[in-house]
Structure 1
Amino acid sequence: MRLLFLAVLRQHTGNAVTAQRVRDHLEAAGHVCILKDAFDFENPSEISNFIKAENLEAAVALHLYRGGRLLRGNGIPFGIIFGGTDLNEDVNQGDKNKVMGKVLEEARFAVAFTESMKEMAQRQWPHAKDKIYVQSQGIATVPNTAFNWNTFLQSSEINQSADNLHMFLLICGLRQVKDPLYLVDAFSEWHQEEPNVYMVIVGPEAMDLEVPVLARNIPGNSAVVKHEVTGLLFSDPQEFVHLAKRLVSDPALEKKIVANGREYVRKYHSWQEERQTYRQLVRTLERNTGD
């Protein structure tokens, strides 16, 4: 099939990474998958023109509101992948909530990343409960980073023994709730007290790296990270520093959450299972293309 895949594609965000991964799954199944930024289109009529021009047969959208609303009434079968923004923010705005409900009426399937996301969606739109599936985001083998840690550790500004160095990597996106500078002030104060602690801000990676995870206590994170089991959850910068100090001084806690986190990823975030799920769901669009 020739598929349109709509997503918000700002670089280095979770949306862009997820969209690229799902497109790879669909193309590996033999489909032609044209990935387009939802923000490139103003309204459904522009999408309709694009669908006709590209001779597209079906579509998938990441985000019920941002992408899905553009597919309504275009006459081709489509499926939806829920974004965190859908269920944590847009659902609370009356007009957007209503539009998302209409999108779900037309969608052939909808994918939630966690059970809690599925439950939230079913409460909001009970008419769509039978078409909502859960598929955790898959994690492939993490490639070796190109970052030269030896050069970094030997720099004059660091000048610390590796045995005494504690490095915190901040995995971040662009929305306000994922503000990469959220911890900077509190971490800077801690660094002044203990110069051997550093924070490094990087792009997409985390629990699969076999390092302890500290995550901000927001719905998307708490659905994945269980406090003191697979990671640590903090509500404000001061709590982050408190938990980070605890982690540094408690090797047993670090060992436990690293092991639990790694096992959680292996059990629930299978890249192969994710590929198989999307292949099966897209086949339902293929069977219904002529409806």
Structure 2
Amino acid sequence: MKILFLACLSPKTGNNTTAERIRSYVEAAGHTCELRDAAEFGSPAEVAALVSRRPPFDGALAIHLYKAGRLLLGKKTTTTPQTHTHRCPYKPIFGGTDINEDVKVQQKRLVMEQVLQKTHGGLVSPVVWWWMCVIISFVLQVFLLVCGLRRVKDPLYLVQAFSEWHRENPLNVLIIIGPKVSTLSSTLTQTAGVFLTNERSQEELHASMRRCCALVNSSVSEGMSAAVLEAMDLGVPVLVRDVPGNAALVRHEFNGLLFSSPQDFVVQSRRLVSDQELRHRLVLNGRTYGEDHHSLDQERETYQRLVDLLR
């Protein structure tokens, strides 16, 4: 089968990494998969024209119901505006911001509903947020916050409380990894114990994660944080904000620690630093959880089956 795959492909983003991985699954199953950036297309009509070219596509996939899925709604005709001209079957893959944030906006929600109505059902996929890097000194107790610097990621949520803890114990350091933003950089310049560093490759990020004290997630809203799952797989404890997406992955004191406020984050961090038995339990259970519920083999088989449903 010839498959069109639409996703947001900004360089060095989690969406890009996830899309490339899914494409490899599809192609490994013997299909042809053309991965295209959703930002290339200004309207569903442009995608409809692409799909209908010879030889035509047999099916399509799209990560994120609004940003990419809406482009598969087709070209509306002049006589029947609610119908669509191309017959290419498609499957949307839920991202994270679509079902956590965009659904709150009525106009976007209506479009997403149309996307779902035109298919036989979507598949929830992790949105892999931002793959970045920093080289960490073994001397420090480094807490690593990996995120795209957006409102929903709330990168400044822990800054003040962590800075106060750092003044008490200078060995504790919080490093935020993500694209530098001038306003954020200027804020952190005045903040003790909290640093911002540029993005790096996934390989460099993993090397840094293995050497940090814990992987932190402070998001206001999450779908299924791949950074958290990666940390578990690498044997790194996770400290995550108690929001539904994070709480779906992390069971408090079993495979990670949840915090409900900046002050609670410091309390849980102190426990993690001082209690080696707790740390060992979180690492062991985190790895087991990832193997049981988020294995790459299962993910590959699921996406290959998804493509088969387009036949």
Q: Structure 1 length normalisation: TM-score?
A: 0.76
Match in the other structure for 1:172: 147
Runs of 4+ in 1 over 6 A off after TM superposition: none
Residue pairs, 1:203-222, within 5 angstroms: 204=227, 205-222=230-247
2:171 is aligned to: 196
Decide which moves more: 5-14 or 64-73. 5-14
- When the two chains are superposed, the root-mean-square deviation of aligned CA atoms in Å is 2.4
Q: 2-side partners of 1:227 and 1:175: how far apart?
A: 26
SS in 2 for 1:20: helix
Q: Which sections of structure 1, spanning at least 5 residues, go unmatched?
A: 114-135, 139-144, 154-159
Contact 1:59-1:76 within 8 A present in 2 as well: yes
Going from structure 1 to structure 2, the CA distance change for 1:189 and 1:12 (only over 3 Å counts) comes to: farther
**Which structure has the highest helix share of the two?**
1
Alignment match, 1:266: 291
Moved more, 234-243 or 209-218: 234-243
Change (3 A) 1:146 1:101: closer
Map of 2:104 onto structure 1:
92
Tell which deviates more after alignment, 254-263 or 234-243. 234-243
Q: How does 1:105-144 map to 2 (within 5 A)?
A: 105-113=117-125
Q: State the identity as a percent.
A: 50
Letter in 2 for 1:78: Y
Match of 1:240 in 2: 265
Residue 252 (structure 2) aligns with = 227
- Name the counterpart of 2:11: 11
* Unaligned ranges ≥5, structure 2: 75-85, 178-204, 206-226
2:255 maps to amino acid: T
Query: Is 182-191 or 22-31 further displaced after alignment?
Result: 182-191
Distance 1:33 1:180 in 2: 36
Asked whether the 8 Å contact 1:137–1:274 carries over to 2, the reply is: no
TM-score (structure 2 length as normaliser)? 0.72
Residue of structure 1 in register with 2:186 after alignment: none
- Please report how far the alpha carbon of residue 147 of structure 1 lies from its aligned counterpart in structure 2 after TM superposition: 6.5
* 1:137 to partner: Cα distance: 8.3
1:145-180 per-position Cα deviation (integer Å, ceiling 9, x unaligned) = 99765xx44xxxxxx4xxxx4221223234322144
Structure 2 residue identity aligned to 1:110: G
Shift in CA distance, 137/208, structure 1 to aligned 2, threshold 3 Å:
farther
- Equivalenced residues, count: 246
Partner of 1:20: 20
